[in-house]
Chain A
């Protein structure tokens, strides 16, 4: 930009843990595939929420608090609710993907590594439940050759739902990125601030490394 980046567009210098989680949340929302879990960040924020709520409770039970105190309590509480919303939204989108891709996750150890322990556990139980349900309601009365749930017959999509990595996403470069290869064979080098609509497979690596965020 020839404008010399006017100061009014300044980014907030350092990304706070909450802003990080917000970024992971929007990434997760837009990415067709399930992204690596951010367990550490999440547990740190949950601890923070817990301690902040405790402080609020403590201050609330003090009847002699001033008006100023009241405002601080109210603001702290509002923030706790906001952070909880982000945490929940992040977990919900992951839960949705886990249930959708449960069988795919259970057949791919590589994907399981991206999930936290409890998430893998949920995927396992969910896959087992649906399998049993299908078996008891329909499959058991079909001929044995048609009872499987993971056929890959030619010319039709596989029976196991897989993430569609060719889905288009809007990518926003957070820094200058190394060139990536586009489906038409040319290379794309994203400068910081660049916004592109492109298939997810193109920017997959950059998203995992945090060089690009999905918006």
Chain B
């Protein structure tokens, strides 16, 4: 078979991580490198201690070899996340976060927790955010029907999480809605 079953209609979290790792992030290099052409574009030149924007996968690679510091994105800070969390718990809709924040945060915190201020606090905030948002998406299930459900500001990892259940539920609604026609054509 060309594809294992779990990958036939969904995408796996490691694959999402791979996609998120194409996004650019700022680093402080510890080695010098000339501007180099890559398939996704030309990056560099790296000149310590000047900041530079490179794809996240490249940053992780260099970081693991201790050749750079990752500058954590503005949204990956205690202040910002705290603010979003209070918004999340006080308001109805989902608060605005970068579309691939969960993947990016995981990668950055995994390899560069020493470059992130208050990494522990951020981890627990991310967890709280996740739980608050999860509860909301579960509530959203009650509004599901056979035609459309708007989920503004939902993020890629969260979509992936609710996908199997939500799509199947909607498929059942679609079948139910179609039934009356089948009886009297």
Contacts and interface: CB of A to CB of B under 8 A. Distances in A.
A72 B33 contact: yes
Interface string B34-67: 1010111100000000000000011001100001
B19 interface: yes
Contacts of B166: 168, 197
Contact of A93 (B3, B73, B98): B3
A8 B73 CA distance: 8
Interface in A175-215: 182-184, 186, 188, 193-199, 202, 215
Interface string B161-175: 001001100110010
Nearest to B19: A22
Contacts of A1: 96
A43 B170 CA distance: 38
Contact of A197 (B62, B96, B170): B170
A196 B22 contact: no
A194 B149 contact: no
Nearest to A52: B39
What range describes how many residues of B lie at the interface?
A: 35 or more
Given A29-B7, A29-B10, A92-B2, A22 B174 contact: no
B149 A196 contact: yes
B11 A199 contact: no
A184 B149 CA distance: 12
Given A8-B73, A68-B33, A183-B177, A45 B39 contact: yes
Interface of A: 1, 3, 8-9, 12, 16-19, 22, 26, 29-30, 32, 45, 48-49, 52, 67-68, 71-72, 74-76, 78-80, 82-83, 85-86, 89, 92-93, 95-96, 99, 166-170, 172, 182-184, 186, 188, 193-199, 202, 215
Interface of B: 1-3, 7-11, 15, 18-19, 22-24, 31-34, 36, 38-41, 57-58, 61-62, 67, 73-75, 96, 98-99, 144-154, 156, 159, 163, 166-167, 170-171, 174, 177-178
Given A17-B39, A82-B57, 4 more contacts: A30-B9, A68-B34, A194-B152, A215-B159
8 contacts: A72-B33, A78-B61, A92-B2, A96-B1, A99-B2, A168-B167, A170-B159, A199-B146
